[in-house]
Structure 1
Amino acid sequence: NRIYYFQLPTMYYPFIAEATGKLVLQSFQSAISKRHLGLTTKKPGFFSCYLDDFQDYIYAGFGALLNKSRSANIAMVFSHQALGDLDKVSPAFRSVVLTNTNIKIVMRNNDPETCDHFAKTFGTRTTQKVTERQISTMLGETRTGEGSVREVEEFLHHPNAIKQLRVGEGIVTVPHPKGVKVMKIQFERRRDLPPESIDKVEKDFAPMPVLASKETKAQQTVTKKENET
């Protein structure tokens, strides 16, 4: 029942933050593998892992973590800005992430590819489209009263609707035994928690090994013999 919090300064130390994030995720992946192998001392309970802007420290092996975490009773929740962030690893990695995530929350996005993809993911519904004939006359366009009705497929949530979501609005897909429910909801904003003071941890560096040359080693040997004499 502990909370482990890692704050990675991706803007201040981009390379160190990326390396640290990968190190933490790989350690987490190792802990998941121990659950599968039964190497834990206690019965493993439910555990949640939240990754914010994880495109800054993901790696190719993250797909295996997604595949195995659910069966280890671990929930993975992560966020990113657009589908292009997943392509930083590879296009195949994007497919792995999108396939192995059941619940998806899409908020306002300006990337056309991302909006088109999720509009197709949300699905379509069958509706009727009515068309009416018109003829051109000297007085302009005149309706003839003749028309046709045909069935068409339209998006449940059009890509333009995703681009025009208000602040706090999102489209959520939730799978359940009777299918997948797609709905638009308004998220309630929570106030920020008051800051907590953390005790300062004094840092120290381990002594660096000194490489001595052959002459220095020989001199040390002579000095040692003189001291013994």
Structure 2
Amino acid sequence: MKTSNTKSRLLSLAILIFISAFSSCKKNNVDDTGQFKLKIVNASATSSPQSFTLAGSILVSEGLRYQDATNYISSPSGTRLVAEFKNPNGSVYASGEIFTANTISQTVYLIGQGSKARIKYFTDNLSTPNSGKVKIKFIHFSDNAPSNVRIKDSSGTELQNNITRNEDTGYKFVDPGVLSIQLSSTSSGEILGTSDVRDLQSGRIYDIYFTDDADGKLIENKVLHDQ
């Protein structure tokens, strides 16, 4: 009888653990009492104008074109929130999951082309830059460039020893105006290209992301972050 009771208790415990694990893995675990802010960016050069849905709620109804970025949009926070970029006919161009928390600000990107289209998101720090400076971070989204890239400025000063595809560098402070940058392969040292990031304004915050244009050429774009 004791053995039977023990087995029964163990079975009940196993069921509870299974239910708990299942609940913790549930998609669209929305916190209706909390809010966060989300900026939405289309960084996919070959995509049609997109809409964007998060946890079943439409945050962008239509027309988000390549290089477009929304203002920050308030939305309920939560975990495993299903994010979908959709074509004008309603078909899903790319989908993913977002984990977020109350009061934070994040930026979600549509990146890649064709079968490589995907969603990536980053948490933003909107604190004011140092006096007279510009706050920037670099993000590597190019599928045609090497997976690991080094960044230097026009004087040869290293801005980032290495950045890996789909990751960012963290924030850096630079002078306003024009920032000339050179990208090279971290492993081989091959120069991948140079470009000028223009109109950087003192006291403001930017993402500078590297991606591929419709012809597969490595280019840079920037996103302005205002609170």
TM-score if structure 2 supplies the norm length? Answer: 0.22
Determine which structure has greater relative contact order: mean sequence separation of CA pairs < 8 Å that are 6+ residues apart, divided by chain length: 2
Pair member with larger Rg: 1
Q: Greater share of strand residues, 1 or 2?
A: 2
More helix by share: 1
